[in-house]
Amino acid sequence: MKADREETWLFDLGNSRAKAARLERGEPADVIALDWECEDFTATLRDSLATWPHPRRVWVASVASELRAQRVREVLAVFEPAKVEWLRTPRRAGGVVNRYAKPERLGIDRFLAMLVAHARAPGASVVIGCGTALTLDIVAADGTHAEGMIALSPDGMLRTLHDATAIKDSNPAAFADADAVDDTAAALQAGCWASAGALVEWFVARSKARHGTVHTWLHGGWAGRLSEWLARDGCVVDILDDAVLRGLALLCDRP
């Protein structure tokens, strides 16, 4: 089958899962999301992509381990190497300026999310990623990446407490799901989510003091739940669905 003249595939390889989409009218379409722990990941991804038109180009943004990324490389090996580009974080793109001394060391997922936020709202933006880690970034009104922080996500905090304490030995139910009625489980959930929420609120407040009015965006697998915690204290946020894929889509059309 010949490649479609305009067909572009986009890949977002995160720490917890891989996502893929077709570029259609400047937006990601037909999004596929697979956990890395999915049984027979490679075959499942290959079968899902088989229904798409063959691409003229494939863009991959990856923060996954090389072992996990290799599974996707195997699937994409059927295409000419020149068609497949594994992107590195640039110094600047789409009006966003990366101030890292070595620009490629800024996670490309963070850069792409900032690119989307900067394109969607005038003025400064706070961009919060809540996935395996909690990332906090400020994009100034002129597009400069003004500040960034990385911390444990609420789920990461829970896993750390699970591994570093003896709580599970005396109370196995303590690390049950979020709806558990066990008192210790409730305390752990409240502590971890409140800690993340407090960090976000502090970061947003300081950003407002330094940059004036800021728009706050959340993205990542835990973004919905974190937004619910923040809403309890009146912290208004918007969620960026498929932020990395949308950032890739923007890069396709912008210098």
- Residue 85: pLDDT over 50: yes
Q: Is 242 left (phi over 0), alpha (psi -120 to 50) or beta?
A: left
Q: How many residues does the chain have?
A: 255
Q: Is the pTM value of this prediction over 0.75?
A: yes
Nearest alpha carbon to residue 104 among 91, 85, 115: 91
Residue 140 has pLDDT above 50, yes or no: yes
Comparing 171 with 231, which gets the higher pLDDT? 231
Domains, the chain: 8-87 (3.30.420.40), 122-159+163-249 (3.30.420.40)
| Pairing label, strands 124-130, 27-35 | unpaired
| Helices 41-49 + 66-76 axis angle, to 10 | 40
Contact 106, 96 (CB under 8 A): no
Q: Can you read off the two tokens belonging to residue 29?
A: 């379409």
When the pLDDT of each residue in the chain is averaged and rounded to a whole number, the result is 91
- 206-234 confidence digits (pLDDT tens): 999 999 989 999 999 999 999 999 998 88
Which pLDDT score is estimated for 3? Answer: 52
Residues 211 and 198: their CA atoms lie apart, in Å, by: 20
Measured distance CA(23)–CA(2) in Å, rounded: 18
Secondary structure (3-state) at 36: coil
Question: Given this model, what pLDDT does residue 5 score?
Answer: 63
Is pLDDT of 18 > 80? yes
pLDDT at 238: 95
Q: What is the pLDDT of residue 182?
A: 66
Nearest partner of 135 among 220, 213, 57, judged by Cα: 220
pLDDT band at 254 (very low <50, low <70, confident <90, very high): low
Helix (H) or strand (E) run with residue 223 in it: helix 223-232
Q: List, by residue number, the catalytic residues.
A: 109
Task: Point out which residues pair with 12 in neighbouring strands.
Answer: 19, 61
pLDDT of residue 232: 87
Enumerate the H helices of 86-182 as residue ranges. 108-120, 154-164, 167-170
Nearest to 129 by CA among 102, 104, 106: 106
Average pLDDT estimate for 157-161: 87
Averaged pLDDT for residues 195-201: 95
For 174: left if phi > 0, alpha if psi spans -120 to 50, otherwise beta; the answer is alpha
Q: Which pLDDT score is estimated for 1?
A: 45
